[in-house]
């Protein structure tokens, strides 16, 4: 309520990108103040053991993370985690620093609860981000690193460019994401074609597999892929032994300013792609759902449809600084109302029967606040937050974030 007033009366009168940079600078300052950071973390981060999720060997304190594009230079990830996000995906980071597209390049569509951006991967480059990521963390924070192609690099050298970024960043990432789906770098989305994607992912995976803790590797796809192409990328991810797929990036299917559209209008297609992926891969890959997530109902629905993790960005812009913390609290209440002991019990419950990972039983868990209860059949996991040692993910032996 308070935030809505501040947003409508103050923030929306300022240029969207200027507000963004001020917010990042403010959070970067918080990230450098250990006491404040810890206080915020204690008050706002998810601490409910029932919300914990282990995916690809990494322990997450809850399902809802911040999507790529906010913390492009890994400047404030810990502060973002302290505000209640279970993980922060930094980037997109490119091998070489680049300024991005000319301004204006970020537009709010307030009535639609949406944003259009054509930022074009403005970032300070992989070496600068790697230095920041190597700093010791003061609060537990799961940090994924999203990498993309440097604009001036031709398609024929794309794999080598991604490999350069991966070598810099994979060692300090909790997971790495190959982004081939942003609409604002010419030709980038063409890399989603399996013939180009196979050599690219193979090369990056080799780098990830060679880090001391084997960095998990995911690929992020566009909502504008044809359904057959979604299937083809899913099959490729399985074939290459990737850890997961992030779906989806922004869409170019809209009538607004040139760029990628995010927020409410993306919700239906993002959910559709998730359902298609789940039907194709079941629980053999970790699915991370992003696009149009606005509230606890959306997070619940994505989990039911088979996402293990959920991300949001535009929802945070309109929902305010406490958005993620609030949703995690609401999730805690909801799983208790359903008499579950772990949120993992609902993952994939509304997916087609052959793609469910556990016996679904007969209990119905509706999208919102249906009164039905179900029995928890899945081990909630006892791990701390952060990377599990590669050979002992299930035993919950963790490598402390502070040790990096």
Q: Is 14 annotated as a binding residue?
A: no
361 annotated to a ligand binding site: no
Site string for ligand FMN, 222-261 (x = CB under 6 A): ---------------------------xx-----------
Contact with ligand FMN (CB under 6 A) among 81, 115, 197, 343: 115
What are the backbone angles phi and psi of residue 287, rounded to the nearest 5°?
-105, 130
Shortest gap between Cβ of 335 and ligand FMN (angstroms)? 22
188 binds ligand FMN per the rule CB under 6 A: no
Q: Is 148 annotated as a binding residue?
A: no
> Residue 101, interface with ligand FMN (CB under 6 A)?
no
Q: Decide if residue 76 touches ligand FMN (CB under 6 A).
A: no
Selected from 266, 288, 307, 351, the binder of ligand FMN by CB under 6 A is 266
Binding ligand FMN (rule: CB under 6 A), the pick from 50, 79, 106, 245 is 106
Whole-angstrom distance, CA of residue 118 vs CA of residue 103: 9
Report the nearest approach of ligand FMN to the CB of residue 316 (Å).
8
Question: Helix %, strand %, coil % for the chain, to 5?
Answer: 40, 15, 45
Neighbours of 119 (CB within 10 A): 21
Told to check if 67 binds ligand FMN by CB under 6 A, we report yes
Give the helix/strand (H/E) hosting 218.
strand 217-221
Distance (Å, rounded) from C-alpha 2 to C-alpha 156?
A: 51
Are 61 and 103 in contact by the 8 Å Cβ rule? The answer is no
Unique residue bearing structure tokens 């209008």: 265
Contacts of 33 (CB under 8 A, 6+ apart): none
Of 50-58, 117-125, 136-144, 393-401, which segment contacts ligand FMN by CB under 6 A? 117-125
Q: Which residue has the tokens 């070489």?
A: 96
Phi, psi of 180 (to 5 degrees): -120, 25
Say which residue the tokens 């940079």 belong to: 21
Of 101 and 355, CB closest to ligand FMN = 101
Per-residue binder mask for ligand FMN (CB under 6 A), 25-64, x = binder: ----------------------------------------
Cβ nearer to ligand FMN, comparing 50 with 219: 219
| Residue 69 is labelled as binding a ligand | yes
Q: Residues of 320-330 as b/e, b for ≥16 C-beta within 10 angstroms?
A: bbbbbbbbbbe
Tell me the residue nearest to ligand FMN as measured from the CB.
69
Q: Is 306 annotated as a binding residue?
A: no
Is there a binding annotation on residue 107? no
- Judged by CB under 6 A, the number of residues near ligand FMN is 28
- Name the active-site residue from 172, 181, 182, 262: 182
Contact in structure between 350 and 277 (CB atoms under 8 Å): no
Cβ neighbour number for residue 215 with a 10 Å cutoff? 29
Ramachandran angles phi, psi of 335, nearest 5°? -70, -30
With residue 247 as reference, give the H or E element that holds it: strand 244-247
Output the CA torsion sign for 160, 162, 163, 165: positive
- Is 122 annotated as belonging to a binding site? no
Contacts of ligand FMN in 289-308 (CB under 6 A): 290-293
Tokens of 232: 């083809």
Q: How far is CA 324 from the centre of its chain?
A: 13
- Pick between residue 295 and residue 364 the one whose CB is nearest to ligand FMN: 295
Find out whether 342 and 50 touch, Cβ atoms under 8 Å. Answer: yes
User: Could you say which of 87, 189, 220, 328 contacts ligand FMN (CB under 6 A)?
Assistant: 220
Looking at beta carbons only, is 92 or 308 nearer to ligand FMN?
92
On whether 121 is known to bind a ligand per the annotation, the reply is yes
**Residue 344, interface with ligand FMN (CB under 6 A)?**
no
Known catalytic residue at 370? no
Which residues carry out catalysis? 182
Interface residue list for ligand FMN (CB under 6 A): 67-69, 72, 91-92, 106, 115, 117, 119, 121, 146, 179, 182, 220, 249-250, 262-263, 266, 290-293, 312-315
Residues flagged as binding site for substrate: 72, 117-121, 179, 184, 249-250
């Amino acid at each position: 309520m308070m935030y809505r007033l501040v947003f409508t009366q103050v923030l929306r009168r300022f240029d969207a990108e200027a507000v963004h940079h001020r917010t990042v600078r403010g959070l970067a300052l918080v990230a450098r103040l250990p006491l404040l950071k810890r206080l915020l973390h204690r008050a706002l981060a998810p601490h409910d053991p029932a919300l914990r999720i282990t995916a690809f060997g990494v322990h997450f304190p809850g399902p809802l993370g911040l999507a790529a594009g906010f913390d492009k230079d890994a400047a404030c990830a810990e502060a973002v985690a302290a505000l209640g996000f279970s993980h922060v995906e930094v980037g997109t980071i490119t091998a070489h620093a680049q300024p991005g597209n000319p301004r204006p390049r970020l537009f709010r569509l307030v009535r639609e609860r949406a944003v259009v951006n054509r930022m074009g991967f403005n970032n300070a480059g992989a070496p600068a981000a790697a230095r920041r990521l190597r700093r010791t963390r003061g609060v537990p924070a799961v940090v994924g690193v999203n990498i993309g192609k440097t604009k001036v690099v031709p398609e024929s050298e794309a794999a080598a460019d991604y490999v350069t970024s991966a070598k810099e960043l994979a060692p300090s990432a909790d997971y790495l994401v190959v982004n081939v789906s942003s609409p604002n770098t010419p030709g980038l989305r063409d890399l989603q074609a399996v013939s180009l994607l196979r050599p690219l992912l193979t090369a990056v995976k080799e780098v990830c597999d060679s880090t001391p803790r084997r960095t998990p590797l995911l690929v992020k796809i566009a909502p504008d892929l044809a359904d057959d192409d979604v299937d083809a990328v899913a099959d490729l991810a399985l074939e290459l032994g990737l850890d997961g797929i992030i779906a989806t990036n922004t869409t170019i299917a809209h009538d607004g300013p040139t760029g990628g559209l995010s927020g409410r209008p993306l919700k239906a297609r993002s959910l559709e792609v998730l359902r298609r992926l789940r039907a194709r891969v079941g629980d053999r890959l970790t699915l991370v759902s992003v696009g149009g997530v606005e509230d606890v109902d959306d997070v619940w629905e994505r989990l039911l449809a088979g996402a293990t993790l959920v991300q949001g960005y535009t929802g945070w812009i309109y929902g305010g600084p406490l958005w993620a913390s609030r949703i995690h609290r609401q999730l805690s209440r909801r799983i208790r109302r359903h008499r579950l002991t772990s949120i993992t019990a609902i993952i994939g419950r509304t997916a087609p029967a052959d793609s469910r990972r556990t016996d679904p039983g007969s209990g119905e868990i509706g999208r919102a606040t249906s009164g039905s209860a179900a029995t928890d059949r899945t081990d909630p996991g006892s791990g701390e937050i952060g990377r599990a040692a590669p050979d002992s993910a299930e035993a919950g032996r963790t490598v402390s974030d502070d040790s990096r």
